[in-house]
C-alpha cells in the first residue's frame, strides 16, 4: 500500500488552491483502489455563500474531491504522471446520491475503486464518508485528452 503527502499530490494534480480537494492519500492499492482525505475547513471559499448561517459543502465539490482522487488512481493505474500536453476530463457522473451534509471541521474520506479502463476511458465507483457515515456516492467516468 502506498501513501502520498501533499507535495506528491501537487506533482500529480494540476489543481491548486482553492480548487485542490485532496489533502493526503491514506492508501493506494496499485491500479485498484485509493483512499484519500479532504480536510473540510471553515476557510473554504464556497462557505461564504453556501450557506452563511449554516455552512454546507456543495455536492458538486464533494464529487470534485472524488474525481481528483480518481485521477490520482488513474495515474497510478497507467504508471505515469500526467504530461504537460495531457489533461484528464470528467466524462460522466452517474447515480450520484448525497446522504448527509458535510460541514466545516469534517474529514471527508474519499474511497474510489477503478472498475474498468479501456482506450483512455476510466470508470470508477466512488464513495465519501464522514466519521464512517456515507456522505456521497457516485459512478464516475473520466478520459485523458491531448492538448493541441
For 76-124, how does the pLDDT look when each residue is reduced to its tens digit (9 = 90+)? 998 877 777 778 889 999 999 999 999 999 999 999 999 999 998 999 9
pLDDT (tens digit, 9 = 90+) per residue, 52-81? 899 999 999 999 999 999 999 998 998 877
Q: At the top level of CATH, which class does the domain 2-146 belong to?
A: alpha beta
50 is annotated as an active-site residue: yes
Residue in 61, 50, 58 with CA at minimum distance from that of residue 20: 61
Cell 502506498 belongs to which residue? 2
Q: Where are the domains of the chain?
A: 2-146
With 0-12 CB in 10 A as exposed, 13-18 as middle and 19+ as buried, what is 139? middle
Given the residues 7, 15, 30, 50, select the one marked as catalytic: 50
CA distance 86 to 100: 35
Cβ-contact 67, 140 below 8 angstroms: yes
CA distance 24 to 43: 18
| Phi and psi based region of residue 120 (left: phi greater than 0; alpha: psi -120 to 50; beta: remaining) | left
Prediction pTM value = 0.95
Amino acid at each position: 500500500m502506498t501513501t502520498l503527502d501533499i507535495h506528491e499530490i501537487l506533482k500529480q494534480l494540476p489543481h491548486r488552491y482553492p480548487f485542490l480537494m485532496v489533502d493526503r492519500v491514506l492508501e493506494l492499492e496499485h491500479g485498484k483502489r485509493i483512499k484519500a482525505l479532504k480536510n473540510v475547513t471553515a476557510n473554504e471559499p464556497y462557505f461564504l455563500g453556501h450557506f452563511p448561517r449554516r455552512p454546507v459543502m456543495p455536492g458538486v465539490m464533494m464529487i470534485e474531491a472524488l474525481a481528483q482522487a480518481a485521477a490520482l488512481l488513474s495515474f497510478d493505474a497507467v504508471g505515469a504522471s500526467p504530461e504537460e500536453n495531457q489533461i484528464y476530463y470528467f466524462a460522466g457522473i452517474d447515480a450520484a446520491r448525497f446522504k448527509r451534509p458535510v460541514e466545516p471541521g469534517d474529514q471527508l474520506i474519499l474511497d474510489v475503486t477503478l472498475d474498468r479502463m479501456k482506450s483512455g476511458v476510466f470508470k470508477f465507483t466512488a464513495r465519501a464518508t464522514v466519521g464512517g457515515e456515507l456522505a456521497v456516492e457516485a459512478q464516475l467516468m473520466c478520459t485523458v485528452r491531448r492538448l493541441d
